[in-house]
Amino acid sequence: MGNNSQNQPTRAVDRRFSTTAFTVPGYTISQSHGVVRGLTVRTPNVGKAIFGAFASLGGGESSTYIEMAEKARETAFVRLLEHAAAVGGNAVIGVQFTGQEVAEEMTEVMAYGTAVTLIPAQQSSPLQPAYGAPQIIAFGGFQGGKRLHIFNSVMENPYQDRSLPEEPSVDQANGGKESDGYHQNDLNDLQNLTQKDYYALLNVSNTATKEDIQEAYDRLCEVFHPDKHDDPALKEAAESKLRVIRKAFEVLSSPQLRTTYDKYGEDGLSGKWEVGHRVQTPQEMMDEFGRLVKEQKQMELENIVRSRNDIIINLDASRSPPQFGLPKKKDRITRVVDSLSRTEIAQLYMKNSFKTQFGSRTQVILGSNMTSQSGIGSGTVMGTVQHTFSNRLFMEFGTSLLNPGASVIKATYNIDPDTYVSGTAFTKHFQGPTPLVMTAGRRIAKDRHDLSSMSLGVRSLGTQDNYRAELQAGVVQSYLLADRTWNVDETSRIRIGTKYSNLAGLSASIGGDRRITEYTKLGLAVELALSGGVALNVRLARLGQSVTIPILLSSDFSTKFAFWAGLAPLCALAILDFGVIKPRGRRQRAEKLRELRKIHGEFIAEQRKEAEESIRLLRDTTGRKMKQEQDKDGLVIVEASYGNLNAGIVANVTVAVQALVNNSQLAMPGGHSKTHILGFYDPCLGEKKQLRIRYEFQKRLHEVVVADMDHVVLPARSHLITS
């Protein structure tokens, strides 16, 4: 153990983000620093070389050489990060590994990629907190064999609208990944298209014991033994199947290989170190590269412009109609028209800003804002300089270029990866005392972050459902608030919240947002206050441009009015979802499914051919087994269909299911797709699949339908068809 710890590479960097992709959803590339690499040449020590040589005599893989290869790759990876740090990058994209033998018993391993400076798409500087945006601190490298970790620290904007859900951070809903229109089943099918599921092949669970694996292997060897077939074609097919079954048995019966397989899949056993897209032909890779180049150009253009616009239009629709000279009763349409005609613009606020990068650590922001209320307008132009001194210290200075002048100074220091302090000072040209706001934040758990700024609070981070609770006590304002956000799916969120303060009393809000296109979001929310009436918020955001329309519906609180106002945004989002977004999504999904099936048509046909081959091998054995079950009134499979049952796109797997029956019982563990079971194939790539089994037990008819990933246990009394 001592030698192992000494051989671990020493990291000269501790905050770098790396990915095999060329883009990171939610981030933009502010600067590229060119290709970086990490190189190491490894040779085993005498003891390990001798041990590995003896171990290799038995055939198969050597855990000794695997361990040395992992250490070589880790060393190369750390040197890659050090190179990226030396050139000023905070991320490495397009990471790949290569390995080759350069001399006898010596191996060269190289990691290479492109060093860049990444900043969140809506954040003002790399790796630093900004109002309304998360601070991203990323760790790069192998840490105990685990993947990269990302966590967020958030410094709140006290003036940010809280009626609508916050924008999710990178590792929140959907894993920080924007949906590209594919159904999750499509992605799973593509990722597993050429990967064999050894657990499904042996029909054992992921937690199967060594005895279970041995028993399943012996049973399959008995069925697929080549000597059981006289036909040369069937004998050859049986030998092929038996090789696959033996490979699955060897992997799952070895603790080391099984651990590697569980963690990295079948590719982890192949010894190939190159990282790239799977199941892609050269033409597909060229098409993918062209798409990435196009997206990169769009990102570069966005980085050059980097403009943000916010428009807030406050509408007042609460004015009471005059009562004199008007009829007391009006029809509903007339009342709506009258209400719309009485709506006035109470306030108009517009804000614009754009950024310019000076080097990798400095940004200059020029912004302006304008406010108009009751015929009186005001505006200003602000210039801001942001500079990152190090990965720990970030400072910002901004000043107004017009009268009345004002300046703001802000500094943030990361004490360690889990703790930061921030200070903000605001002054009108340094006249009079300067208000100073100090904030300290500390991550106390994996998914929780606490902060203190003359207030105490707790919030969840990085989880699917987020919550926040905060208490503030002050001379001017004291309040207690709590809110919670639910991610309904990859594109929709719902938020409810309540707040009690000494200034506004008790208030509550409910709202939600929905991504209506790839880059456009629509949000609706209702705010209710005992002292301030009812207001409706409408927000439309797209690529840094947003329009927010708060509408004051009533200046007095009414329970009935509040109920209907709260129901309105939910109904509007539901109509938009079911009437526009989901039908369009279904059309896009159907089009992509057709494309996927066309691209992978040959492989799907090969899958079907192998399944039919397995059925021919199983037919005789299964026929004898079925006759035995019939003679003792046992478990007889009448019919089994697998696929999209509703659409009728199914494969007949009756023989394959009957082959799994053992002593009048059948058990199919869940947790993996049934596509990989011998005799099964995927008849409907990218669609939800089910397995329907109709069977007889004790001469009574039963039927069960289960989802693709669910377990099956037969017979069961609940499956009995009473009619």
Mean pLDDT in residue range 133-144: 29
Q: Which CATH architecture has domain 296-588?
A: Beta Barrel (2.40)
Task: Encode pLDDT of 618-676 as tens digits.
Answer: 888 888 889 999 999 999 999 999 999 988 889 999 999 999 998 899 989 888 888 88
For 56, residues 6+ apart whose C-beta sits below 8 A from its C-beta are: 62, 65
Mean pLDDT in residue range 383-396: 89
Could you tell me which residues are beta bridge partners of residue 423? 411, 438
**Residue 702, pLDDT score:** 93
Q: 13 vs 501, which has greater pLDDT?
A: 501
**Residue 134, pLDDT score:** 29
Residue 7 confidence (pLDDT) above 60: no
Query: Cα–Cα distance between 264 and 257 in angstroms, integer?
Result: 10
State the pLDDT confidence band at 157, using cuts at 50, 70 and 90: very low
Look up residue 222 and give its DSSP letter: H
Percent of the chain with pLDDT over 70: 67
Query: Cα–Cα distance between 545 and 352 in angstroms, integer?
Result: 9
Residue 208 confidence (pLDDT) above 90: no
What DSSP assignment string belongs to 17-67? Answer: EE-SSS--TTEEEEEEEEEEEEEEEE---HHHHHHHHHHHTT-S--HHHHH
- In our burial notation (b when 16+ CB lie closer than 10 A, e otherwise), range 560-572 reads eebeebbeebeeb
Could you tell me which residues are beta bridge partners of residue 385? 364, 397
Quickly list H helices, 495-600: 559-576, 582-599
CA distances 298 to 127, 304, 515, 552, 698, Å, are 23, 10, 20, 39, 67
Half-sphere exposure for 295 (CA within 13 Å, toward CB): 14
E strand or H helix at 470: strand 466-472
Helix axes 184-191, 582-599, angle to 10 degrees: 20
Q: 448 vs 212, which has greater pLDDT?
A: 212
Q: Picking from 21-30, 132-141, 309-318, which range would have the lowest pLDDT averaged per residue?
A: 132-141
Look up residue 517 and give its DSSP letter: S
Residue 138 confidence (pLDDT) above 50: no
Mean pLDDT in residue range 227-237: 81
The domain spans of the chain are 2-120, 296-588, 600-723
**Strand, coil or helix: 318:** coil
Q: 226 vs 393, which has greater pLDDT?
A: 393
Q: Are 128 and 388 in contact (CB under 8 A)?
A: yes
Q: 51 vs 597, which has greater pLDDT?
A: 597
Of 540, 28, 63, nearest to 311 by C-alpha is 540
CA distances 561 to 253, 329, 339, 342, 527, Å, are 67, 19, 15, 18, 12
Of 647, 628, 650, nearest to 639 by C-alpha is 650
Q: Are 704 and 716 in contact (CB under 8 A)?
A: yes
90: alpha, beta or left? (left if phi > 0; alpha if psi -120 to 50): alpha
CA distances 121 to 135, 170, 282, 581, Å, are 12, 10, 32, 25
**Residue 325, pLDDT score:** 46
Of 640, 612, 629, nearest to 665 by C-alpha is 629
Q: What CATH superfamily classification does 2-120 receive?
A: Hypothetical protein apc22750. Chain B (3.30.110.70)
Of 680, 672, 676, 673, nearest to 650 by C-alpha is 680
Task: Encode pLDDT of 30-88 as tens digits.
Answer: 777 777 888 777 665 545 444 444 444 444 455 565 667 777 778 888 888 888 887 77
**Residue 88, pLDDT score:** 77
